[in-house]
Every structure is written in structure tokens, then in C-alpha cells.
Amino acid sequence: MPAETDATFTELPLRRLADAALSRLRELGCEHGDFRLERIQDRHLALHDARLDGAQDREDLGFGVRVVHDGSWGFASGVDLTPESAQRVAEQAVEVAKLSRPLSTQRVELADEPAYGDVTWASPYDIDPFTVSDADKVSLLADWSAGLMAHDVVAHAEASLHHVRENKFYADLAGTTTTQQRVRLQAALEILGIDKESGRFDTMRTLAAPVGRGWEWLTGPHYDWAGELDEMPDLLAEKLRAPSVEAGDYDLVIHPSNLFLTIHESVGHATELDRALGYEANYAGTSFATFDELGSLQYGSPAMNVTGDRTAEHGLATVGYDDEGVAGQSWDIVTDGVLVGYQLDRAMARLKSLGRSNGCAFADSPSRVPIQRMANVSLQPAEGGPSTDELISRVDRGIYIVGDRSWSIDMQRYNFQFTGQRFFRIENGRLAGQLRDVAYQATTTDFWGSLEAVGGPETYVLGGAFNCGKGQPGQVAAVSHGCPTALFRGIRVLNTVAEAGR
């Protein structure tokens, strides 16, 4: 069940400040105006070898006013929570719009969105991690770290816990007022092992994804932490002794803990409409998936069906309403391998006559203007589809890839290279021990075009990341990507040691 919004946030003068700002915007003749007050609480704990190594605690509290005045954007922000300050910031936002008007090449218009009245939404979680003492958090991570270090192969153990509580109040001139609360949490343990005979060293990290959940993610039945921690030292020992991969073309069976990142980089970013239109060009490039190819681009094989979703339960990009007052929704991006949709905010939707926005406006701070950000972009499983073991059984010579590590992709989201945490050789449909030094390389359309099969719903996992970057000045957002285990044919595999010239 969704939690109640924290009373210490709702006791702030939210509506008084919004009324002051919006009343002034009406007087100044704005076509659109919105007021957004946020409090973002961020806590991070780090342990080294079962001892607390660092703790960070941050809170960001303030408000922003965004307007469309005479067809131009304006934005200003403040931290003084008084009606007088809200009115002054509203005037500053209009002044920015006036100053930018001579520089604008086209008038800003926003796609229509219904007014929702006064609504409240909170993400579902059981235990707010901010109500759990640091002593309890450190104790759990220290116990897990000590258990890992009891194994001879483990030289060092790192543990981290990062959790965020995001409160947001939004009101606009059209009549929508939203009060929202989101909680998200990420925990990870990583071990370093050294093979004494060869001097070789390597690491292995837990596969648990960051989630839109609370403390129950670590202490409840949602993830088998005990099982994974128990097997990690043996897996690391095997990895240290594993042979280096021979470069060549292989069939790949890719686990969701690795494939989510490939989806993020090659599909998620590539199908942001502002990027496809060239509006997002400096920080992280544009996109090969240009607007003229909507409805015709063969993105992948017929097994590829990708959705954008702002409603997925426990998704990191899940919201009730975005930062433009648009209700969360889901939609198709790739259907049967063909590009059929983009991620949109209200301005991009109206600019290209695509109808309603699908709710992809987000700002990472009250002092930042909302920009178009990624939804939960997910590859859909096949109803009645194969298990992971069944997918492996279809491969004569291949590699099973688990967990994410490093990656590289070009500015067009087209040429890429990904590595992973764990690699297992597949011979005649069976796993045959681990490999090392593996990276897979492809172009986006060749890679997704080689997708032969996706697993059934029982193989589906919701992965994701806390740290998706975009924009200038840079903004950071959390986003989830669900996917099943999937089988790809004939993918180029590199030996990373050989590629590095060692």
C-alpha cells in the first residue's frame, strides 16, 4: 500500500506560497505557470572491511516557478519560504521569459493535459529507511561484510547503502495541485579476491537492483540476500581461475542484471524525443532514431517489444504526476521490432503534433528547470516463453552474461560495447564454467536485430540505476528497466585484455 506523505513536509506553507506565486503570474498574463516546492533527503553509508568508512546526509529544500510568457520559457527559484519571496521569484521567471523572447526561434506551446484538482500520491513501501537508525543499518551491512571476509579468497569487502526520500508539491494555473512522496533505496556489496598463485585479482558485486521500496528490501522476502552472499566467494574464486575468452562471434544469453543497462543506453536514451530532434546534443549526444523514421525504423527483431512506463510498481521513474502535472501512464516504444513511440514532455508532444505528453518531465532539484527525462523503459517478456535454462539449452557455443560493469556508447546511441560481472561458457546447451575478460560489441540495430527469443514472465527482473545523467547544467535521475533473460545470435565478443594491449 502507498505510504502517507511525511507530515513534516505537508506542514510547510505549500499552498500559501503557490497561491502567492500563481496569483502574480495571472496578473502578469502568463499562458502557463507552475509552482513546484520540493524537499529531497539523501543518505549514503559506506563500509570498508565491515567498518563504517563514511556517511553523507544531504537535504535540498526550495521552490521553483516556471512560466510560458509571450511564447517563451522563463524559470526562477528560491529558498525563502514566504509569500513575498514566492511573488518575487514569479516576477523573476517572467522577466527571464521576456529577456529570452528575442532569442527564441519559435513560440513555446504545450500539449493539452486535463486538470486533476487537488491530488496526493505516494510510492509503495513498507518501512521508510529514514526511520531506521544508522546503527541498525551499519550493523546489518557489517555482519554481511564479515561473513564474506570469512572466506580465504576475499581480501576486502565494500558495502554501501543509499536511500532517498523525495517530497514534491506542484500547482499550476490550469487547476492541478499534486502532493507526492517517493522513496528509493540501493544497497550493494562488492568483494575483492586475489589468486595467490598467479597474483591475479578481481571483484564481484551483488546483483540486487536499486528499487522504489523501503528498508524491507534488505530485511524482507523480496530478494534472497543470504543466498547470493553465500555463493559469491565461490563464484569469485572460480572467476580468478577462469580462462580468458577467445575473441570471436558467439551466441549470447543475457540475464536481466546485465541487459537492463544495454536497454538504458541503446533504447532508453535513443528514444527521448528531445534527443532525436537534436535539442539534447552537447552533454550526451543526439540519436540515430530520428523522427522521420517513426513507424518505419526496424529497431530489432519481431521478438522486441519495449514499453515506456511511469506507473510500474516499485519503479525508480514511477510517479503519480510528472513535473508538468501530467498523470503517469504507459505506452509502446518498440512493437514487433519497429519504432512506434518516443518519450515526451508537453512541449515536445505539441511541437511534433503527437497528442498528449506521456509524462516525462522531471527536475532533480527545486532549483533546476524540468527537462525531458527517461521513463521506466522495459523489454517485455513472452507469455508462455522459455526459462533461462531453456534459452541456454538452445545454444551450442555461447556465453551466459550476468551483472553489469563497464560500458561505452557513442553520441548517437548506435555503436556500443558492454562488459559484465560474471561470464559462463555455454557448450552444447550447458554451462561449462566461467570465462574472463569478456566484452560484447555491436551497433544498436544489429544487436536488437539478432534477438531470437525472450524469456517468459518468470525470468523478468526490474533493474535500474540511481545515476542517469542528462542536460547542461547536468541533472541526475533514477530510472528502472525491466526485462527477461534473452537470447542473441552471432554477437561479436572482444577479449578486453588483448584490446588493452596487455
Residues 406 and 258: their CA atoms lie apart, in Å, by 10
Q: What integer pLDDT is reported at residue 303 of this predicted model?
A: 98
Average pLDDT over every residue of 278-289: 90
CATH number at 7-241: 3.30.2290.10
**Could you tell me what percent of the chain has a pLDDT over 70?**
99
Q: What integer pLDDT is reported at residue 346 of this predicted model?
A: 98
Q: What integer pLDDT is reported at residue 4 of this predicted model?
A: 79
- Report the mean per-residue pLDDT for the chain: 96
Domain boundaries in the chain?
7-241, 248-499
Residues 207 and 403: their CA atoms lie apart, in Å, by 6
Tell how strand 330-335 and strand 461-470 pair up: unpaired
Average pLDDT over every residue of 40-51: 98
Strand partners, 335: 338
Average pLDDT over every residue of 346-351: 97
Q: What integer pLDDT is reported at residue 102 of this predicted model?
A: 94
Confidence of residue 2 (pLDDT cuts 50, 70, 90): low
Confidence of residue 151 (pLDDT cuts 50, 70, 90): very high
Confidence of residue 196 (pLDDT cuts 50, 70, 90): confident
CB atoms within 10 A of CB 365: 15
Within 8 A by CB and 6+ apart from 338, the residues are 295, 296, 297, 298, 299
H or E element in which residue 169 lies: strand 154-172
Q: What integer pLDDT is reported at residue 485 of this predicted model?
A: 98
Q: What integer pLDDT is reported at residue 500 of this predicted model?
A: 80
Average pLDDT over every residue of 475-501: 95
pLDDT in tens, 47-84: 999 999 999 999 999 999 999 999 999 999 999 999 99
Strand partners, 185: 163, 211
Average pLDDT over every residue of 243-260: 98
Average pLDDT over every residue of 269-292: 93
pLDDT score of 433 more than 70:
yes
